[in-house]
Structure 1
Amino acid sequence: MNDNEPKPYDPATEGARMSFQGRMAYGDYLGLGDLLNAQHPLSDAHDEMLFIIQHQTSELWMKLALHEMAAARRAIAEGDLQPAFKMLSRVARIMEQLNDAWDVLRTMTPSEYTQFRDILGESSGFQSHQYRMIEFVAGNRNMAMIGPHEHRPDHARALRDEVAKPSLYDTVLARLAAEGFDVPARDRLDVAHQPDAAARAAWLAVYRDPARYWELYELAEKLVDFEDYFRRWRFNHVTTVERIIGFKRGSGGTSGVAYLRKMLEVVLFPDLWELRTEL
């Protein structure tokens, strides 16, 4: 090397550790050996790797969403709303990440998907127990939806255990009651939330005087943010499926696009949407 040529940058000269023998390194902490070796395509199709990684990363984001939702529910139950706001905001951003992932999957054409769709057998996102748990935690509870998870007793048990607890929205309604609003607890926790006149009246009072009820007002808007992004995720799911397989039946046996369109009708927090008409 010419003496006048600049020497390659060496981070060690500034104190960076360059050897990690016997020490915890980045890949060790994150378990990247297992994570990056968890993709096992069953065909030679180029796009199968995209399909696998798309769904695996979505499951990781859903795991984080459940972590945040559980912590938010505990904080709300304890009346500690400020940390819950941060957690619920994070859940909405996670849903945004899940939405963006559809843009990547939509680069796969119908012709490319048909090259490996048959090898999926009956596996389907319909069987995602974490997605189902997100719905159950939020309050959209339908016991029939535990059926696709019965082959995994641990997953089915976790969903049943969740149904025995107040949902996130039940916990929010209990917080309204604790603040003096006449909002009775639900008789059944194993069904989806339906519009409730008493809850809607309470939220109307909050929205008509947000300065007085600022924390409750903020809490309601965090829930609406979450559901807003959740609805977008469902809509993008429908659009992606229709774009790639048209109106074929889903690999898990559902009616495909028709089933997903029906899911668009589900409202997690109906009182918070209905009150807007009355303001």
Structure 2
Amino acid sequence: MTGPDSPERARRDFSHLLSYGDYLRLDTLLSAHQPLTAAHDEHLFIAVHHVSEVWLDLIVRELHAAMSLLAAGVTDAPLKMLSRVVRAQEQMTNAWEVLKTLTPADYLEFRGAFGQASGFQSAGYRMMEFLLGNRNPAMLGPHEHRPEVHGPLLAAMSAPSIYDLALRLLSARGFALPPEVLERDYAAPYAEDPAVLAAWLAVYRGPQTHWDLYELAEKLIDVEDNFRRWRFNHLTTVERTIGFKAGSGGTSGAGYLRRALDTVLFPELWQVRTHL
């Protein structure tokens, strides 16, 4: 068949043209899958983590762009970027479902091969956390040996988070927020404030008047909701694979991950629901 819809009409000679594989540099991408053992399931383990790192790279890029615009007082484009972040988070969370096909016996075939390597050391994940406001100087330690990674992480930890920028936007719109909220030590954990809660309450009680702020708040809730889901799926995947053994990177494993579930990124946005 040689009609207009026939596959034979597709271009087939790419000796002097950019092909799909060339454009995506698939040789480079797939060559990074280098198992250290002959275990069949190590390839799965590497693939899931590679995919997650690619999504993290996109999330960080979108967060940086959204934050730059929020800092300039722009709200419409950041909402689209945060929607993209949410969708990418969903893909990361779904990746755990693939990894859960790895049984404890499967994992033990290659676990000892990668030594102290751990997702705890993911610079992409740490950057995402820092941009969202979950900060702890101790988390910089695993990256001190790589200045090109440590430097940007340190800068992110010392700069306003996306929530800090949202609060600055509230202030710019006339909501009374104290200086200790607006000009705080950004490397320190955020401390909830009654004035911030009062401001968000005003937004939620008058969404028609403050529609873009209301939409921004709900989009931040979407981001944190997915942040929590990813962590919960991480915990359950670890528990079903290694139980309560210590993590390869030195943490307590499931115990550390369970404690991390208590993290709240945007406290007043959750509290506002109780006070409405």
- Output the TM-score relative to the length of structure 1: 0.94
Deviation at 1:29, TM superposition (A): 1.1
Partner of 2:7: 11
Deviation at 1:38, TM superposition (A): 0.6
Aligned partner of 1:210: which letter?
Answer: P
Partner of 1:23: 17
Change (3 A) 1:250 1:120: same
State how far apart, in whole Å, the 1-side matches of 2:113 and 2:263 are.
31
3-state SS of paired residue (2:56): helix
For the aligned residue pairs, the C-alpha RMSD in angstroms reads 1.4
State how far apart, in whole Å, the 2-side matches of 1:80 and 1:28 are.
37
State how far apart, in whole Å, the 2-side matches of 1:145 and 1:151 are.
13
Partner of 1:260: 257
Partner of 1:3: none
State how far apart, in whole Å, the 2-side matches of 1:7 and 1:147 are.
62
Contact 1:193 1:270 in 2 (8 A): no
Partner of 2:119: 125
Partner of 1:111: 105
Which one has a bigger Cα radius of gyration?
Answer: 1
Task: Number of aligned residue pairs: give it.
Answer: 272
Partner of 2:84: 90
Deviation at 1:194, TM superposition (A): 2.0
Q: 1:244 aligns with which of 225, 241, 245?
A: 241
State how far apart, in whole Å, the 2-side matches of 1:201 and 1:173 are.
12
Aligned partner of 1:230: which letter?
Answer: F
The runs of at least 4 aligned residues of structure 1 exceeding 4 Å deviation read 6-10
Alignment of 1:1-279 (within 5 A): 10-13=6-9, 16-183=10-177, 184=179, 185-279=182-276
**Gaps in structure 1 of 5+ consecutive residues:** 1-5
State how far apart, in whole Å, the 2-side matches of 1:45 and 1:12 are.
41
3-state SS of paired residue (1:211): coil
Deviation at 1:153, TM superposition (A): 2.0
State how far apart, in whole Å, the 2-side matches of 1:186 and 1:239 are.
38
Deviation at 1:7, TM superposition (A): 7.2
**Gaps in structure 2 of 5+ consecutive residues:** none
Contact 1:50 1:105 in 2 (8 A): yes
3-state SS of paired residue (2:176): coil
Aligned partner of 1:232: which letter?
Answer: R
3-state SS of paired residue (1:267): coil
State how far apart, in whole Å, the 1-side matches of 2:176 and 2:93 are.
37
Contact 1:206 1:216 in 2 (8 A): yes
Deviation at 1:120, TM superposition (A): 1.3
State how far apart, in whole Å, the 2-side matches of 1:160 and 1:54 are.
27
State how far apart, in whole Å, the 2-side matches of 1:240 and 1:88 are.
26
Aligned-pair identity (%): 54
3-state SS of paired residue (1:36): helix
3-state SS of paired residue (2:36): coil
* CA offsets 1:68-126 (integer angstroms, 9 cap, x no match): 00111111112221111100011111111011000000001000000000001000000
Aligned partner of 1:96: which letter?
Answer: E
Aligned partner of 1:101: which letter?
Answer: A
3-state SS of paired residue (1:212): coil
State how far apart, in whole Å, the 2-side matches of 1:11 and 1:96 are.
34
Deviation at 1:164, TM superposition (A): 2.8
- Output the TM-score relative to the length of structure 2: 0.95
Contact 2:130 2:153 in 1 (8 A): yes
3-state SS of paired residue (2:201): helix
Contact 1:140 1:191 in 2 (8 A): no
